[in-house]
Every structure is written in structure tokens, then in C-alpha cells.
């Protein structure tokens, strides 16, 4: 019979969430060793159906055979998954868990089990928690698993929280921010319960905030003294206000249906982004109000790199005057500009001209697009404003 140290060595080569399955078929001695095996975290992820049609879902491994799983089959798979996670979480006797990741087709019906997993993880001082509960069929907002609004012992050790396809309400978000003093990363994706999310706490350690594809959001307010990066991705426009973010260095905004910087941000309330170095904006449809981007650029006096991605095009009108007739403020730090989707439309040319005018120490400008000879000549002509800068046409 193998000594304990050899058995422990064998078990250590298995992912912890798999080890419990293997040892469950072996002796009681193996099971005892598994329960005391030190682990850094658990990652519960199982490949499952990726396609659905009517009341049936298609399994990835059966795509070539055209086989389908019924909804009842899916329920059985969910029950197996829940039982597996329960066995692992409850049986392991380790005192700490650094990371817990769960990704499966779960919803509110599994709430009491998911709550228990979170409770166990918090009690073991989990640092990183990731929950992702996608759905193959339409799921109403009240069927999403609701993230709890209660304080678990150990929640204060959480440093990173990623919730995808989870029902996170404004109150739940506020609770997390108020009770997780160590939290540095918050990622919320497709949460139908978010309406007016607020990030506001003078002692907040939060550095990275990502909010995406939560279509119920109406406004966002941010006041975070340590925030370094903010990403926002959504199908429709929404006003948000960054009241205070002195350490913000990366701002990534994309709006796939409409882009209106005047509506997006209340320009008179624009704070000075005194630490912002990189700014990326993505838009699916632009008009002459695109030029109002200059208000955002001029609110970022230390900006080093600006990137604009244009996903669609309409007929444009020249409209630099509508952005304001005041003298443009020069920027001596902006060194790189990148425009993706440039077609040489008048409003685009006007905006690039504005950038060339303010970026007095520009080193490189990259232009991606279907560049015909006339557009290329026009781009070269624009570069006369900054003869020392490198022009790259892609």
C-alpha cells in the first residue's frame, strides 16, 4: 500500500474539482487525503450545449450528428453539476480558498445551492469570485440568479468579483462596495437588475471597473479615488457621470447602436482626468456630434494615446462649429492617435485636423480604412500640420 505522501503527490496533479470525483470511487483513505489536500482555488466549468432550437438544445459534441438535448436533459445535467459542486465544496476541509469560479447554465432555481457555495467560499476567505450563469433559451429578468445582499463572514477578504449573467441589483452592488474594503476589481456583465449603479466611497480601494451589456441601466455615477480603469459596453446610450477619479488612466467606452457624447456625459460636469493616459472610444453610428469628443479630450490634459473605432457610417455634415467656437486647448502629451474605420468623410477629416492641431508633440498617427487614392492624398495633406509625425495607413 502506498504511503500517504505518495498518494498526496498523485492527488496534487489533479485539478481539485476533479480530484473529488476520482477519489469518490476509491478507498476511504484516499478520500480523507483529498479532503485535507491544500488547494489554491476551484474552477467548475463543463462544456455544454451551444445551440438551441425551439425546446431543444444542441450539444457541441453532437453538432455533426445533428442530435439535440431536450430541456429535460438540460435539467438533469444541471442537477449533476450542482451535486458535483456541492460534493467538492462541502467535503473539502481546507481553511482557505483563494479563488472560486463557477460557469454553468444555472438560474434562480439553484439559488439555495449557489448561496451555500458563496457562503463556504467567503468563510474560507476567498479572494477572487467569478460566477457566470449563461442561458441557451430566453430568460426573464426575474429568473436570473439574484446575487445576495447579505454579509457573509469573510467577505472583507474579497479582492476581485466577476458576475456574468447574474442578477445584480443596485442595492446588491452598493452592498458589495460597502462591505468589501479590499475589492480592487469589479466586473458586471449582462445584469438585468442594474438600473442606477453608483460607485461612491471615499475609502474605496477599487481600481478596475467593467460594466457591460446590462440593458436596463439608465444612469451611472462614479466617485472612486483609486479607480485606474473604467470600461463600459452597452447597446444603447446612457448618461454617466464621473464625479471624481483622480487616478483614472484608462477609459474604454463602446456603444454599438448610438454614440452621442453630449448625451453620454454632461459636459459642464466633466472632471479633469489628471491621470488619464489612454482613451479608447468605439461607436457604431456617428454624426457631426462626434466632434464633441474634443470636450472629453480637453478634459484629459495628460492624455498620451487616443483611439477611435468607427463601426458604421452615415452621411456626415461638417459641424466643428457645433462643438464650440472657443480656442482649442493644446495638448503637449498626446503622442499617438489611431483612427479605425476612416473613410475620409468631411466630419472625419475635420476631427483629425483638430487632433493634429492640438497634439503639438504628436509622434504617430495610424489610420485604418478603405483608403482610396484620394483619401490617402487627403491624409498626407493633413499631415502637413505635423511634418515630424509618422503617418501609418493600414
Q: What is the pLDDT of residue 135?
A: 85
Strand, helix or coil for residue 359: strand
CB atoms within 10 A of CB 119: 17
Q: What is the pLDDT of residue 261?
A: 40
CA distances from 329 to 42, 72, 334, 357, 358 (A): 52, 63, 12, 9, 6
Q: What is the pLDDT of residue 136?
A: 75
339 conformational bin, left if phi > 0, alpha if psi -120 to 50, beta if neither: beta
The pTM of this model reads 0.69
Q: Residue 306 is inside which H or E element, if any?
A: strand 305-310
Q: What is the pLDDT of residue 335?
A: 92
Q: How many helices (H) and strands (E) does the chain have?
A: 10, 19
- Give per-10-residue mean pLDDT for the chain (394 aa): 43 50 47 55 72 55 58 83 89 85 93 96 94 86 92 91 96 92 95 92 86 87 90 72 82 56 43 80 60 77 87 51 57 90 77 85 84 65 73 77
Strand segments, DSSP code E, in 175-216 are 185-189, 198-200, 208-212
71/332 Cα distance (integer angstroms) = 60
Q: What is the pLDDT of residue 91?
A: 81
Amino acid at each position: 500500500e502506498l504511503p500517504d505522501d505518495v498518494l498526496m503527490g498523485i492527488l496534487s496533479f489533479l485539478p481539485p474539482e476533479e480530484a473529488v470525483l476520482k477519489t469518490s470511487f476509491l478507498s476511504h483513505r484516499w478520500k480523507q487525503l483529498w479532503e485535507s489536500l491544500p488547494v489554491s482555488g476551484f474552477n467548475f466549468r463543463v462544456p455544454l450545449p451551444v445551440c438551441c432550437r425551439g425546446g431543444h438544445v444542441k450539444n457541441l459534441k453532437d453538432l455533426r450528428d445533428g442530435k439535440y438535448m431536450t430541456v429535460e436533459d438540460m435539467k438533469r445535467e444541471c442537477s449533476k453539476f450542482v451535486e458535483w459542486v456541492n460534493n467538492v465544496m462541502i467535503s473539502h476541509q481546507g481553511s482557505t480558498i483563494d479563488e472560486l469560479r463557477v460557469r454553468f447554465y444555472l438560474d434562480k432555481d439553484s439559488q439555495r445551492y449557489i448561496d451555500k457555495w458563496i457562503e463556504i467560499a467567503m468563510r474560507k476567505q476567498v479572494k477572487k469570485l467569478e460566477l457566470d450563469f449563461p442561458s441557451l433559451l430566453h430568460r426573464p429578468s426575474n429568473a436570473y440568479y439574484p446575487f445576495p445582499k447579505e454579509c457573509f463572514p469573510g467577505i472583507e477578504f474579497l479582492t476581485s468579483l466577476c458576475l456574468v449573467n447574474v442578477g445584480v441589483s443596485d442595492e446588491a452592488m452598493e452592498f458589495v462596495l460597502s462591505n468589501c474594503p479590499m475589492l480592487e476589481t469589479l466586473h458586471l456583465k449582462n445584469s438585468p437588475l442594474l438600473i442606477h449603479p453608483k460607485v461612491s466611497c471615499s475609502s474605496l480601494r477599487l481600481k478596475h471597473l467593467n460594466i457591460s451589456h446590462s440593458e436596463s441601466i439608465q444612469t451611472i455615477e462614479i466617485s472612486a479615488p483609486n479607480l485606474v480603469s473604467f470600461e463600459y459596453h452597452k447597446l444603447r446610450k446612457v448618461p454617466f457621470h464621473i464625479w471624481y477619479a483622480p487616478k483614472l488612466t484608462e477609459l474604454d467606452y463602446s456603444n454599438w447602436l448610438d454614440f452621442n457624447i453630449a448625451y453620454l456625459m454632461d459636459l459642464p460636469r466633466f472632471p479633469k482626468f489628471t491621470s488619464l493616459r489612454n482613451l479608447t472610444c468605439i461607436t457604431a453610428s456617428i454624426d457631426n456630434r462626434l466632434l464633441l469628443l474634443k470636450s472629453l479630450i480637453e478634459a484629459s490634459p495628460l492624455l498620451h494615446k487616443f483611439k477611435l473605432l468607427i463601426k458604421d457610417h452615415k452621411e456626415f455634415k461638417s459641424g466643428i462649429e457645433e462643438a464650440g467656437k472657443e480656442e482649442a486647448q493644446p495638448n503637449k502629451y498626446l503622442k499617438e492617435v489611431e483612427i479605425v474605420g476612416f473613410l475620409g468623410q468631411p466630419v472625419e477629416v475635420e476631427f483629425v485636423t483638430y487632433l493634429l492641431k492640438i497634439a503639438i508633440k504628436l509622434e504617430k498617427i495610424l489610420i485604418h480604412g478603405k483608403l482610396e487614392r484620394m483619401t490617402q492624398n487627403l491624409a498626407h495633406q493633413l499631415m502637413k500640420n505635423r511634418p515630424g509625425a509618422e503617418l501609418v495607413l493600414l
